[in-house]
Amino acid sequence: MAVEVCVKAAVGAPDVLGDCPFSQRVLLTLEEKKVTYKKHLINVSDKPKWFLEVNPEGKVPVINFGDKWIPDSDVIVGIIEEKYPNPSLIAPPEFASVGSKIFPTFVSFLKSKDSSDGTEQALLDELKALEEHLKAHGPYANGQNVCSVDMSLAPKLYHLEVALGHFKKWSVPESLSHVRNYMKLLFERESFQKTKAEEKYVIAGWAPKV
């Protein structure tokens, strides 16, 4: 029985993979573990009836290992790790929260209309913390091999790069060389290339919120 996973379709292109970083995190985890899966693209503005029947909350991603549909990317990647332990993507507990505040600070800065409200500095502080961690433990969050922290951060950093580049002409400072190298390494991985949304769909996804 193949694993089935429902993920967001692109805005305005229901047959193309969409821009949900939590959906991509699940797909990345499946790809890195070489798990065979069937992907259903869900148009979130016109959800199919069957999808709402099996998943009344209507959120993506959801996954089915053969018996029931399970929501929540945190829960999903935990179950994938249990069912498919090799290669292990388990991060040491002390690294589990590395970079965890980057996404909310990025969103605040992206939506900000006031350049002096501190949102840019808050994001820079989080990126500097990641820089220090990578300097000590890199090139990935847990050294030489990717782990669950990277699977979570990669899509979020991609959104940060694309959306801030487009809407604010902003990019990660050159001084944060370990972060920039980390992003390059993640974005070049085959698993990432196979599961990323096109830049135009990332931009389309953020446009209504900016």
Check residue 97 and give its pLDDT: 96
Considering the entire predicted model, what is its pTM?
Answer: 0.97
Residues 143 and 164 grouped into a single domain: yes
Does residue 137 have a pLDDT over 80? yes
Of 83, 108, 134, the residue at which a domain comes to its end is 83
CATH number at residue 55: 3.40.30.10
Mean pLDDT of 9-15: 94
Residues 78 and 117 grouped into a single domain: no
Token pair, residue 23, equals 């959906």
Of 64, 83, 102, the residue at which a domain comes to its end is 83
Neighbours of 90 (CB within 10 A): 14
Residues 116 and 203 grouped into a single domain: yes
Does residue 101 have a pLDDT over 80? yes
Distance CA 84, CA 29 (A): 10
pLDDT tens readout for residues 76-98: 999 999 999 999 999 999 999 99
Distance CA 146, CA 44 (A): 30
Residues 19 and 70 grouped into a single domain: yes
Position 46 in a domain:
yes
C-beta separation of 124 from 170 below 8 A = no
Catalytic residues: 20
Mean pLDDT of 15-36: 97
Distance CA 8, CA 11 (A): 9
Average pLDDT, the chain: 97
Check residue 2 and give its pLDDT: 78
Position 88 in a domain:
no
Mean pLDDT of 19-34: 98
CATH number at residue 163: 1.20.1050.10
Check residue 67 and give its pLDDT: 87
Domain of residue 26 covers 3-83
pLDDT tens readout for residues 45-55: 999 999 999 99
Check residue 48 and give its pLDDT: 96
Does residue 44 have a pLDDT over 70? yes
Of 83, 116, 145, the residue at which a domain comes to its end is 83
Check residue 61 and give its pLDDT: 98
Mean pLDDT of 129-135: 98
Question: Can you list the pairs that 178-182 forms with residues at least 24 positions away whose Cβ atoms lie under 8 Å?
Answer: 178/130, 178/131, 178/134, 178/135, 178/138, 178/139, 179/127, 179/130, 179/131, 179/134, 181/134, 181/138, 181/139, 182/130, 182/134, 182/138, 182/139, 182/140, 182/157
Confidence grade of residue 1 (pLDDT, cut at 50, 70, 90): low
Residues 107 and 153 grouped into a single domain: yes
Domain count, the chain: 2
Position 192 in a domain:
yes
Residues 35 and 116 grouped into a single domain: no
Does residue 118 have a pLDDT over 70? yes
Position 201 in a domain:
yes
CB neighbour burial string for 164-185, b if at least 16 within 10 angstroms, e if fewer: bebeeebebeeebebbbebbeb
Residues 41 and 118 grouped into a single domain: no
